[in-house]
Structures are given as structure tokens and as C-alpha cells.
Structure 1
Amino acid sequence: MRSTLSGHPRFVPPAIPVASPRRVLLIFFLSGAAGLIYEIVWARQLVLVYGNTTQAISTILSAFFGGIAMGSLLGGRLADRVRSPLRLYGLLEIALVPIVLITPRLFRLIQQIYGTAYEALQAFPGAITAIRFLLAILALAPATVLMGATLPVLTRYLARKRKDVETTFGRLYAANTFGAIVGTALSGFVLIELFGLHGTLTAGAMCSGAAGLFALGLDRSSAPPRCAAAVEWEERDAPHPTPWKRLGLLAAFLSGFTSLGYQVLWTRLLSSGTGNTTYVFTAILFIFLLGIAAGAAAVSSRPPRPNETVHALSAAQTAVAAINLIGLALVSGRIVWLAFVQTTLLVVFPVTLALGLTLPLAASLVASSDNRVGRDSGSLLAVNTAGAIFGTILVPFALVPLIGSPRTVVLLSFVNSLFGVALLGPGWRALPILRRLGRVVTVVIAGACGFALVRPPSFVADPGETYVRQKGALYASVEDEIASVQAGRIGPLKRLWVAGTGMTHLTVDARLMAILPMMIRPDARSMLNLCFGMGSTFHSAIVAGLSVETVELVPSVPRMFGYFFGSARSFLSHPRARLIIADGRNYLDLARHRYDLITVDPPPPIRSSGTAILYSREFYRSALSHLVQRGLMMEWMPYDQTIDEFRAHVRTFSSVFPRVTIALGRGKCGSGRCGVFLFGSREPIDFRPAAVHAILARPGVIEDLDNAADSSPLTEQQWGQLVPRLVCASGSAVAKFGGEGPLITDDRPLPEYFLLRSRFGAASLPMTDTSVRASLCLDRERPSDERRASSTP
């Protein structure tokens, strides 16, 4: 590489020996672990403020990445001006610790501000979105700006020459990402379950503090003796031409955009049908980061020659496109059926390995001169982060609802392949046969992506849709910004699937979720129904004469209502009905009016990611505060858990509601029952015969119950005799069953984080109809013929 001597003297501060690069990489490894811990914990905490909608999550991620980008720019410029970038880095990490530890208080403050603004500006969605973003920036910026400054500062410290930027940036990027992998695994599999969100955040702050102290210690041990400054002739490498720098920044932007896009898309496709547990998402993120880190490490360990960087970038883009097409075929199951982990490894790791090559390669194109190393690396990271923000917004909001996740993967692959073709310009110096072969391969892959986009082959299909088609009859399939939704039939039962997971069927239990609370409170007039699902509870409540507000998170779910109930359109437009597309927990927290009844049927399985906020003590407190004095809450509790886990739910529910009654479900799931009803109120809970018959006598109620797929026709008298026998336990029996132990809270989401308890905790019976009867209901619930049989000598 050519060097030139400037014709002017330059002030040169005393040289500072570089500490062992391995020690610096270890420090940045700790920083990466802390960064992912912060991101995971903050995302969960801010979801409680803004809700679990895609709009809210995109706001959170945009604010997070926006702070990172701002910090990258500022940190890069500052790094080129300070005498000791390592000391600056140490101070950044130490300053981060108190800021991180006060973020929960900041979140509570913005929750109060947001609640006030939401009440005043409900009619102006644009204003609500702007306030949400502004508050998220104010809460996250103090920490994320400091976090974003760390990479360019350390790059400036280790890379004293422009020619070292590619290797140094790649090593630091890889070390930080390997740390992020450890942070992902520790928080997702261990820390949150053991210590909760606040404890996990504290662990991350300890990592940041340790990194800062180690950096200051290294800086002090490597500091040279004091000496006078010198004036020397500046020797520097010839600056990169501006077109190469622009190309590097474009590559960084596309890398950020497509990386975030692929993370969203492959998480959707690979998690389909898995039950969407937290551990599924943690595993996908773990493998995603592993590929990114491995790619960055590969570049830093064996960097290409200067004239080969653009060629390597082209090969990486082409590889991303090709691997994505193969991955879609694997996920579709049309080639071979593979287990979740196998598919994730075979699809995500190769794609992210190729993606991980891009940013370090772009770093060598962006570096312009020796005295701008910090600024150039900061600009690179800022542009890459800007691409990530763009992907966070464009992919889920525009592309996925328009063409679906599989075709969006093809579209992004097409973008990668076109960029790969564009990089194969006339400046490519290689043997003619290799040059021709490379161009042919790249163009063929780009053409394949374009063809698959215009005329999608059979493997470019949603996995959930494919599953329903193979197993039964598909009525409809649609994908929105939240999830993929299907309505169909398998065997005799109509079903609803969301994100590949079966929600329910037309069971009588879903109809009883509306009717049983009315039998307890026959004077009830209003109901809040959280989680619309197939619409059975909403339908039965309207039939029985209630005014109903029903809330659903996934916009496409209510669109399937008509496939299960022929009167769907008239019911949704009924004057006593109001459908709200929102996060149910967030809607309840922000509501300013009270209800006679609140019913909640969280989406299955009970261990799925995000559902714990509908089982927490804070949620129940919010529900109680939104009930009238004699108001009643009903929470459905499915059998898909252990008895000890059910005890934690009962214990948490009973810690909030003064009066609690548990009733058995009547619907059928396979060879057994489906779950139980939890009823909570301030006032006594009784099924008085007169009230039961008064509700049954309302027009259409018995007919609605009898029309359920798993219900046999019963008369009013038979239903009147059956309902009181469903009661399993109440009062002191419920308190005794719940016993002593931890509660489910927003900080300790026990239903979602269960791995260590299930592996190393005491064994517990699965929750079934038999085990519930044996441990809770005792002899009360058994039918009279069973009691007579047991008493016969």
C-alpha cells in the first residue's frame, strides 16, 4: 500500500503503548454480554409500558438503535481527539453502570407520562406514536449513546493506521458479538429465571463495570513515562477514494437492513408451530449471533488483500441469497422434515456467517486516513445501525403484510444478489475463467431470486399454511405485522392457528367463559373480553345480552371470525360490541372506566413467550382496579402445565382477589378435559339456582351452548343441575392449595422461564383432570353416581 509524506509538521502527543489486544478483546467481550442483557431486559420492561404490538416493539428497537447510532458518531469523533482512547472507553463503561441501574425508574416515570398523554390524545394516533418514540428515546438515549461510542473508541485505540482498521474492527466486532451470545444464553436460559429482570439487569451492569475497571487498569499499566510532546513529520497512507468509501457505507447500510430483516423473518418462519416459547426465540437469536460472530472472526483472522475486498463482498452477498433460497426449501418440509434445532442450524447459521463477513469488509473501504480511524469506524457503525432501524420498520409493517414472510425473504435475497452483481464491475482483477464463472453464478442466483419473487415455487410458502393443507382443509391464510394466521379444519373440528400454533377449537368452555360469570353476577351489563381468539366468548356474551369490549393483539385474527360463526358480520357491527386491536394488558392498564366482568383466555400454550404478563400479580391488580365493587374476573387456566405451576398461578391470583373460586371445565381436549376457570372478586362468589336459571332462560343461551363442537344437547334443567357441580374449590380450600411460595410477577415471569425448575427442581405431577380432582377438588366435584358407587360395600 502506497505511503506519502506530508510536507507539513504535525503535533504528535507522546506515544501510548497498546495493551495486549487479547485483553482488550476480553474487555469488549464483557461489554457485548452486558449489551444483549440490557436489550433483552429493556425490551420486556418497555413492552409493559407500550404494549406488545409491532408498532410498540419497533418504537423500542428504533429508539435503542438510534441511540447506538448517535453514540457511534460522537464516539468516533471524540476518539480521534483524546490522548488515551482506552481510558475514554473505561470511563464510558463505568458511567454506563448507574444509568443502567436507574432505567427501571425512568421506565416507570415515562409510563405515567404516557398514560396521561394516551388519555388526552386517543383520537390522534399519529401524536401517540410520536410521544411514544420521544419517551423511548429519552429513556434509552443516556445508556445507548454511551454503548454506541464504545466500538469506535476501541477501534481507534487498537488501529493506529488505516490499513489496520479491517482487522481491528473485525476482531472487536467478533469479540463483542461472542459476548452478546453469552449474554443471550445467560439471560434467556439462566438469569431471568433465577434473579428476575431487575437482577439480570444488575448482572449486566456488573459486566459493564468490570469492563470499565479492567480498561482503566490496562491504561494505567501501559501508560508511558511523562515526556515532552514532539513535532514530527506526518506519515500516512494515501486516503481511500471517495467512491470506495461510499461503497463501504452502502454495504454497511444494506448489511444492517437485511440482517434485521432476516432476523425478524427467520424467527417467524422457524418458530412456527413450536409453541413460541422464550427458549425458541433465545435459541434462534443465539445461532443468529453465532453466525455473525464467526463471519466477523473469519475476516479478521484472514483478511483479503486490498484489491480483493470488493470481490469478497460480492461473494458474501451472493452466498446470502443462495443460502436463503435453500433455507426456504428446508423450512417448507418439502425436501425433508427436520427438527427445530437442525433446521435452525442448517438455515440460520450459514446465512448469518455470510452476513457477518460484510461489516468488517466494509470497514476497510470506509477507512480514509490514519488520523480519522475513530471517525470512520463510528460512521460505519452508525450507517449500519441506521439500516437496522430501516429494516425494523419496513419489513414487518410494509413487506410482510403485503407479500408475506417467505416472499419477503426472497425479496431481500434478491437485493443481496443484485448488490453482488453490481460489485462485479470491470475493476475485478482475476483470471478470466474465474471472473466469468463468478459472474455467471452471481447472475444465475439473482435470476433465481427474481423468478421466485414473481412466480413463487411451492416451497415459498408459510409453514403454518403448509401444515394445515397437509393435515386437513385450509379455509383462509393471512399474515400481518404480528403473526401468520390460518383458519381451517382437521378432522371434524374447525381450528384457528396463530404463528403455526393451534389456538383452540369451538369448545363449550369458551362459551362458558361468558355465561358462567353472568350466572355469578346476573345483574352484569358490561364485559371486557381480552384475547378474541375464535370469538366464542365474544359471541356468547352478545347472545346473552352483554355490552362487550373485546381486545385482540393480532389484527388478522378477527378476520377469521366468519369461518367459525355465520353471523360474524352482524355481531362485529352490533351496537353492544366494540372490537379493539391492541395489546390486552396495555389496553387494560390505560383504560379509565370500570367493568362488571373481565374475562381472559390467554393464547396457548401457557408457557409461550409474552403470555406471563396476563398471569402476573400486577396484571390482576390492574384488573381488580378496573372492576366495579361487585365486579368479577374470570381467567382460564389450561391443563398444559404441572400441578406445582398451577399452584403458583392460584397463589398469585389469590394474593390479589379477596374471594376466589375454581371451577372445572367441561370441554374435551383429546381424551380428557381442557382446563379450569378461576373466578375472583371482592364480593362472595356463588352459583345461586335462581340466577343460573335466569341466565339460561335468556333467548339463545342454551342453543348457543349446545352448538359447541364438544357439547351434547341439554335442557335448561340439566344445565341448571350441571353448573353448580362444576365448582371445585373456594375460600380456604383455594388458599390451602396455593400454599406458600413465589408469585408470578412482571419481574419474575415464572411461566415463561421454567427450564431450570423442570430440569433440576422437584418432580411434579402434570396438571390433568385427574390430578386436579385429587389434589384440589377432593370429593366435592364427583358426580353423585360415582359417590354412591364408592360408598357401596
Structure 2
Amino acid sequence: MGVSTVEQAVGTRQVAHRSRTALLLPTLVVLFFLSGMSGLIYQVLWLRMLALIFGVTVYAASAVLASFMSGLALGSYVAGRYADRTRNALLLYGVAEVLVGLSALATPTALAAVERVYVGLSPSLTDATAVLTLVRFVLAFAVLLVPTTLMGATLPIIVKSSLLQVEGLGQRVGVLYATNTAGAIVGTVAAGFYLIGSQGLNFSFQVAAGINVVVGIVAIAASFAFARGAEDEGRTNGDASHHHSSQVSPLISNRARHLVLVVFVLSGFASLALEVVWFRVLVLFLRATTYAFTVMLATFLLGIAVGSYVVTPLMRRRADWLVWLASIEMAIGVVSLSSLLMLGWSYRILDLGEAILRRPLPYETLIMLIASFLAVFPAALLFGMAFPIGLQLWAVAGTDAKEHVAERIGIFYSLNTIGAIVGSTIAGFFLLPWLGSQLSLAVLASVGLFSGLLLLSTLPPDRRGFAVRAGGVGLLLFAAAAITMPNPFDLAVKHRFEGETLLWREEGVQTTVTVNQQPSGFKLLYLDGLHQADDNPAMVAVHRIIGHMPMVLHPQPQDALVIGLGGGATPGAVSQYPGANVDLVELAQSVVNGSEWFRHVNYDLLRLPNVRLRVDDGRNYMLLTPKRYDVITADLIQPVHAGAGNLYSAEYFRLARNVLKEDGIMLQWIGALPETQFKLIMRTFLSVFPETTLWATTHDGDHLLIGKKKPLELRRADLERKLQDPTTREALAAVGITSWETLLEKYRAGTDALHQYVGEGPILTDDRPQVEYFLSLPRREKQREIEEINSGGIEKYVRP
């Protein structure tokens, strides 16, 4: 009777333990989903905040991304080695998540210290790009080292937490990896469409950190609940793990296992490099807004998540997964090569939809979604399928031992991440500038084909015939895709810029620049598919007056700073004043090269002795320069373009104020915007330059803000003296300023009227770049109402 009671108690306890362990994987899935969500929010926030310090150049962004991913690789490798020795991996995971949240929450404070160090080092730094990039990498790595290393540690630790036996490792990894990626999609969309624009960077940090801390606390609590059951389950299944570990994957040779590892270094390289190329191609078809980049990244992550989810149930079956992996890798090559062809179908799908529904569709939104899906999703799906299969083959298929599984996972993930770092760098700095997007895509697609053939070469002699046939099919499909691959620029001209002729293009390190010609003969300059300038006289006049107005209103301008070149009409106008030295800061060398097509409207300024060009981020230049200026103006920059919000914040205007001389003038152009955003920009400018006046351009709906440290004094004699110089007189006549009276016609409102018009309210800050994200705000006006709102709202404050 006593023995029976004991047996019943033991049986009851084992049932309870098994019930608890059955909940382990679902619990980990929920926790890792939330962890992936916070991780992508952090990535978006860190890239944006470090760009405020280092600039938005590709070199600076690459330094930040490399430091971020280096931390992930380091954390994965170190944690993989340590996790195998811990008795309670879930407890370790919970501690890591809490520390991620706390350390990430401290990064805004750390970044403020980094900015002080960076500015302090600037006098001793050379202008050499390599030196600046290295310094930026070291500083960014110092800030991100702790949180990113901890983030990288979570995958091997959480897999170890789920591992009671080696059997089913690939399935568990597939579920966890896919779920973490699904969380990353939510984080990307949340940050890009709502959090940053509506709530701000600091609040977004608090949300992400809160998620990590909650995940960590739940994991720590769960670790004690699951620990006892895991021990009993482990004892029950201990022997079984040795007999069934290779149930779904036959043992493969060490050579094959190590080639799998090599393939996933190449896969990491190709995936991030392809992402860079796809993004550069897609912006030719989309507006390069923050939303477009968010949709593209979310689509890539969606493909990875769906791919992992799709393949995970299949991995329960016994199959030759090495052949599967080889086939998937070759398919990645073929599908990647076909992505441009599929991109062209996006417009046909929209046209077909409109024909079926017999009504116009929201073209811009749908083309963003459809083009991203067709170009990026298929290959991303295959990348997602490959990851759990490859990890299963590397970590399990070559051994029956459960020991060191976490270490093998850490090695796999860290090397895959290192490949991704190299891939993104090589694609942006070398492949695109040297080969262009079409050839770059072909080269990167061939990496997938080569990887598949490499894996097929490891098959045993009795399967060589199959390997040859499979490889031959892959080569034929790849060749067919290569033959049918269209030129992306031809596609863009055909579908987006219908009627225009492509005259010139350059796929630079920073941006892709194209010059098209309309049937009317006018030339247009596009940066990443966005119209920046043209030689239509009306548009040229707008750009020129942005340069002329501060030069005319300053009594004797000697040193002028112009942010942005574009077609060159703005800095060209500034250069037409005797004795004025012009510092021109342009972000991209490809824009400098493209401006050569507009020498007839920019006074051939790059060859003028009083113009000094610097290829750099304008905001970063103002942060570091010791020079002071009489005039600061900027080329026409639309605030909704990705990253342009950095040039409309109070912090940016304060940087400009700091480099102005005591009697200096700062000009800010405001285009046609909804009145809420119009007032927001004006109120922000007034918060830094209280002594501001409003002036008209040559285009209805556009306005110019003239800001000074002290009240503006207009003197007729100053203008008349400038008009005595024939060069200046001719340049001013081109924008309709020929006399004192014609200048005053541009005046619209004084300081008191502007303060009264904007009233009390929020301002734009680096923390809350609402204008760039204005579509994410609760209240918005339609674009077609913009000009009416602007003219009607401010009209009663304008000088009659």
C-alpha cells in the first residue's frame, strides 16, 4: 500500500512536470517575439541618434551598423560557449534581457558623452574618410557594445533553454528564429509608422527597454517553474537523445558540416548585400521617405519569418536536408536574379487592378507595397527557410552528442552575422559604385548558386549523378534568369518617368543620381528617384532666390555656407557677389558629378575660385567646424524625405546659430505644407531665431524665413551698392530684383506678426521629428488643400 502510494505520487509529479515542460516552448516563443520587437526598435533608434552626431553619410551609417552587428556576433559567440555550462539557461536568458533593457535605456546619455568626445577630437582628426570612419566605429562600438552583445547572446541561450534533447533542434530553432523575426517586423513598423513620429525617440527607448525588462522578469520567474520539470524530463529522455538525435537528419561528414558553415557565412554576406542593392533599386520606383524604407525592411523580415515558419513543420520528417539546403541556395540565386523582372510586374498588377475595379487606386501606397513584395519577398522567404536547415546540419547532423550544442549555435550565428557585416559594406562601398545595381545583383545572386553547387559536391559517390543533374538544372535556370533580367533604370523610365529620356546616371556610394530629359527639352535631376532640380526657368528662379535673399539682405557678406548642391542654382547664386567666399557642403559625390549637366543654370560654380566644395554631411560639418559665417542657406530640401527631418529641428537651427557671426543671416525655405506642419517649422525656427522675417519666393506657396541674432536692418544703400557690380546686377535681375522697390515686394511679414501667427505650441526636435513622420500623426490635412491653407492662414498677418 505504501509502495503504491509512492508510485502514484511519483507519477503525479512526473505528469505535472511534463505538463509544465509542454508549456516551455510556447512561453519562449512569446518572450522571443517581444525580444525581436524591441531589438529592431533599438536598431532604428540607434541608427537615427548616431546619425545626428556622425552625419548621414554612408560611411558614418556603415560604421554604426558594423558596430551594432559586431556586438551581436560577439554576444552570440561568447554566450554559445558559456550557455552549455549553465544549469538554468532560462534564468541566464532572463538576466540577459533585463540587462539589455537597462543598458539600452542608458544609451541616450552615453551618446551625449560620445558627442562631446567626438567634437573634442575633431581638431586633431584629418579629413581622411578612412580615419573618420574608424573613429566613428570605435565610438559607436563603445556605446553599443554592452546592449548589442547581450542581444546577440539571447539566441544561443534561449535555444539552450528549450533543449531537453537534441532531437528536433532544427524545428525549435526554426520556430524561435521565425518568431523573433516576426517580432522584428512589428518593431520595424511600430518605430517607422508610429513611435518615433508620434511619441519621440526617448519615449521609444523607454517602450523598448520596458519590453526587455518585462521579458526578462517573466523569463526569470519561469526559469524556476520549469527547472524541476526540465531535470526530470531530461533524466527520462537522456538516453533517447543519443538514439534519436539524427532522426530527421542523417549523419553527414565533417567536411560537409564545415562547408555548411562556409555557406552560411556566404549567405549572411549575400543577404545583407542584396538588401542594400534592392533598397537602392526600389527607391527608383518609390519616394525615398521613411515609410518606404520601413516597408522595404519589413517585407524582407516578413520573408525570413514566413520561410522559417514554412520549413519548420517539414523538418519533423526524415529527409536528406543537405540536398534541400543545396536546392534552396541555388533557388536563392535564381530568384534574386529574377527580382528586377518581378519588379516590372508591379505596375502591370496595379493597372490590372484599376481595370477590374474601374476606379483609380491609391497608386503611391500600393506601388510601395507591391514592388517591395515582388522584388524582395521571394528571396527573403528562401533565406528564412535555409537558416534552420543549415543550423540543424551544422549543430546536430554530424554528431550524436547533446553537449556543446549552444556553442555550435553561437559559432553559426556569429559567423553568419560577420558575413552580413562584410556584405553590407562591400555592396555599398564597392559593388554598387563599381558595377552598378544590375551587375551587383548578378554577382550576389551567383553567390547563392555557387553555395548550392558547393553543397552538392559533398554528396557521396553513389549520388554524384544526381548532384550533376541538380546542378545542371540550377545553372540553366540561372542562365535563363540572367538573360531576361531587365535594366532597372530602363524600368524606372518606362513606368515612373514615362516620356522622359535617361541621359546620365551614377550609382554612387551615397546615392543614385540620374539626369532625365523631358520631351520639352528640360533636364531633371533625380536623387534616388526623387526630383531635386531641373533647368525649367521657373524652378531655377526658386532655387536661385534661396541663395540671393540672404546675400542681398546682409550688408556685406564675406563668408557664406550653403548646405546641399542639387543642380547648383542656389550656391551658384550665392557665388555671384564680389568678395564673398562660399563653402559648399554636399553629401554625395555623385550629386556633384550630376550637377555638371546644369552648368548653364548654376554659373559653372564648381570652377569658380571663390567656391570651396566639401563632400560631407552638412549638419556634421556645422557641428565640427571652427569657422563662422555671415550667411547660411540650404538648397531646397523636402522635409518628408528620409533623414531630412534632421535639417528642420531646433537642434539643427541652434548649430547654425552657433556658426553664424554676430550680424549673420540664416535662411530657411518652407515649401507648400499643411498648416499644422507649416506652423511647426516656423515656430521651431522662431524659437532659435526670435528676430525672424518672412519673405516670398518666385513660387506661390513657398516662403523664406530670414533669421538673425538681432533685428534685421534694411538699408537701401547696401542694395544699390551691390547692384553696381555687373555680375551681381545680372544675377539679381534673373530673379526679378532690379531695385529697392522690387526687393520690398518680396517682404511678407515681420517678427511680431510671425510670433502672433504661430502662437504657442510644440516645436520640432531631434527627439520628435514630426514633419518627417507627419503621416503618422493623428491629425493631418490632404495635400490638395495645402496651398489654400497656407495662403489663407497667414494672409491676415502679411504686410499689405
- Asked if TM exceeds 0.5, the reply is yes
1:288-329 per-residue CA deviation (whole Å, 9 max, x = no partner) reads: 111101111122221175652121112212222222233202
**Further displaced range: 608-617 or 532-541:** 532-541
Q: Contact 1:330–1:336 at 8 Å: present in 2 too?
A: no
Kindly indicate whether residue 300 of structure 2 is the aligned counterpart of residue 288 of structure 1.
yes
Q: Select 1:530's aligned residue among 552, 558, 563.
A: 563
Q: For 1:557-706, list aligned pairs within 5 A.
A: 557-566=591-600, 571-604=605-638, 606-639=639-672, 641-667=673-699, 673=700, 675-705=702-732
Contact 1:332 1:466 in 2 (8 A): no
Q: State the alpha-carbon separation in 2 of the partners of residues 178 and 762 from structure 1.
A: 30
Q: Is the 8 A contact 2:570 2:635 kept in 1?
A: no
One-letter amino acid of the counterpart of residue 93, structure 1: E
One-letter identity of the residue aligned with 2:717: A
Cα distance, 1:333 vs structure 2: 6.4
Q: Which deviates more, 81-90 or 536-545?
A: 536-545
Provide Cα deviations, 1:658-678, integer angstroms capped at 9, x if missing partner: 2111111114xxxxx361111
Superposed counterparts of 1:15-164, under 5 Å: 18=21, 19-164=23-168
Q: Secondary structure at the match of 2:705?
A: strand
* CA distance 1:224–1:469, change in 2 (3 Å): closer
Report whether the alignment pairs 1:475 with 2:481: no
Inter-CA distance 703–329: structure 2 relative to 1 (3 Å threshold): farther
Q: Secondary structure at the match of 2:514?
A: strand
1:442 aligns with 2:474: yes
Question: Structure 1 residues 535, 226: CA separation in 2 closer, same or farther (over 3 Å shift)?
Answer: closer
Query: Within 5 A, what are the aligned runs for 1:299-448?
Result: 299-303=311-315, 307-332=319-344, 336=348, 338=350, 339-367=367-395, 368=399, 369-425=401-457, 427=459, 438-448=470-480
Q: Which of 741, 747, 758 is the equivalent residue of 1:721?
A: 741
CA distance in 2, matches of 1:404, 1:226: 54
Describe the shift of the 1:127–1:426 C-alpha distance in structure 2 as closer, same or farther (beyond 3 A). Answer: closer
Shift of 1:336: 3.3
Corresponding residue to 1:755 among 775, 787, 790: 775
In structure 2, give the amino acid aligned to 1:423.
L
Question: Residues 346 and 371 of structure 2 are in contact (CA less than 8 Å); yes or no, is this contact kept in structure 1?
Answer: no
Per-residue CA deviations over 1:371-418 (Å, capped at 9, x if unaligned) read 011100101100110011001210000000011122211211122112
- Structure 2 equivalent of residue 737 of structure 1: 757
Q: Pick from 538, 543, 548: which aligns with 2:582?
A: 548
**Cα 1:221–1:334, aligned 2, differ >3 Å: closer, same or farther?**
closer
Asked if residue 505 in structure 1 is aligned to residue 534 in structure 2, the reply is yes
- 1:121 alignment partner AA: L
Identify if the C-alpha distance between structure 1 residues 308 and 233 changes in structure 2 by more than 3 Å, giving closer, same or farther.
closer
SS of 1:608 mapped into structure 2:
coil
The 10-residue stretch of structure 1 (487-496 or 31-40) with the greater mean CA deviation from structure 2: 487-496
Equivalent residues of 2:285, 2:529 under 8 A apart: yes
The answer to whether the Cα contact below 8 Å between 2:341 and 2:485 also exists between their aligned partners in 1 is no
Contact 1:728 1:776 in 2 (8 A): no
Q: Give the letter for the 2:120 counterpart.
A: T
**Is the partner of 1:287 in helix, strand or coil?**
helix
What amino acid is the match of 1:395? Answer: A
Q: Distance in 2 between matches of 1:766 and 1:576?
A: 42
Q: Deviations over 1:599-631 (max 9, x none)?
A: 023533x21110011000000011001101110
Secondary structure, aligned partner of 2:641 = coil
Structure 1's 464 and 593: CA in aligned 2 closer, same or farther, altered over 3 A? Answer: farther
Partners of 1:488 and 1:752 lie apart in 2 by: 27
Q: Residue 670 of structure 1 corresponds to which residue in structure 2?
A: none
Which of 212, 217, 230 in structure 2 is aligned with 1:208? 212
TM-score between the two structures when normalised by the length of structure 2: 0.88
Q: What TM-score does the superposition give when structure 1 sets the normalisation length?
A: 0.89
User: CA separation in 2, counterparts of 1:189 and 1:385?
Assistant: 27
Aligned-residue RMSD, C-alpha = 2.9
* Aligned residues of 2:332 and 2:445 also touching (Cα < 8 A): yes
What is the deviation of 1:435? 6.4
Do the aligned residues in 2 keep the contact of 1:665 with 1:677 (CA within 8 Å)? yes
Q: Which has the larger helix fraction?
A: 2
> Shift of the alpha carbon at 1:438?
3.3
Residues 167 and 360, structure 1, Cα contact 8 Å, conserved in 2: yes
Q: Determine the C-alpha separation between the residues in 2 that align with 1:691 and 1:394.
A: 53
Distance in 1 (alpha carbons) for counterparts of 2:504 and 2:112: 41
Residue in structure 1 matched with residue 355 of structure 2 by the alignment: none
User: Is the deviation greater in 508-517 or in 465-474?
Assistant: 465-474
Q: How far apart, in 2, do the equivalents of 1:447 and 1:74 lie?
A: 42
Distance 1:224 1:682, change over 3 A: same
Secondary structure at the counterpart of residue 679 of structure 1: strand
CA contact (8 A) 1:526 1:596 kept: yes
* Equivalences, count: 748
Q: Is the 8 A contact 2:268 2:423 kept in 1?
A: yes
Q: Is the 8 A contact 1:323 1:350 kept in 2?
A: yes
Structure 1 CA distance for aligned equivalents of residues 230 and 447 of structure 2: 54
The answer on whether the counterparts of 2:674 and 2:780 sit within 8 Å (CA) in structure 1 is: no
Compare 79-88 and 674-683 and name the one that shifted more.
674-683
Query: In 1, are the aligned partners of 2:674 and 2:789 still within 8 Å (CA)?
Result: no
Deviations 1:458-503 (A, max 9, x none): 4354655666885223332111111110123223432211001110
* C-alpha distance 657-715 of structure 1, shift in aligned 2 (>3 A): closer
Deviation at 1:687, TM superposition (A): 4.0
Name the CA distance, whole Å, in 2 between partners of 1:637 and 1:654.
13
Distance apart, 1:755 and its partner CA: 2.4
Question: What is the deviation of 1:732?
Answer: 1.1
Matched, 1:272 2:284: yes
Query: Deviations along 1:508-530, whole A, 9 cap, x unmatched?
Result: 12111222112211211110000
SS in 2 for 1:735: helix
Helix, strand or coil for the counterpart of 2:403?
A: helix
Report the counterpart of residue 791 of structure 2 in structure 1. 773
Q: 1: CA distance between counterparts of 2:628 and 2:653?
A: 14
What is the aligned partner in structure 2 of residue 10 from structure 1?
Answer: none
| Equivalent position SS for 1:152 | helix
Instruction: Judge conservation of contact 1:464–1:486 (CA < 8 Å) in 2.
Output: no
Cα distance, 1:780 vs structure 2: 4.7
Offset of residue 731 of structure 1: 1.0
Q: For the residues of structure 2 that align with 1:235 and 1:684, how far apart are their CA atoms?
A: 81
Output the CA distance in 1 between the equivalents of 2:74 and 2:505.
41
Task: Name the counterpart of 2:266.
Answer: 254
Q: 4+ residue runs of structure 1 moved beyond 6 angstroms?
A: 225-235, 428-436, 567-570
Q: Secondary structure at the match of 1:556?
A: helix
User: In the superposition, relative to structure 1, how do residues 85 and 765 fare at CA in structure 2: closer, same or farther (>3 Å)?
Assistant: closer
In the alignment, which residue of structure 2 is the partner of 1:786?
none
For the residue of structure 2 that corresponds to 1:650, the secondary structure is helix
Cα 1:633–1:337 shift into 2, 3 Å: farther
- Report the alpha carbon displacement of residue 764 of structure 1 after superposing the two structures with TM: 7.2
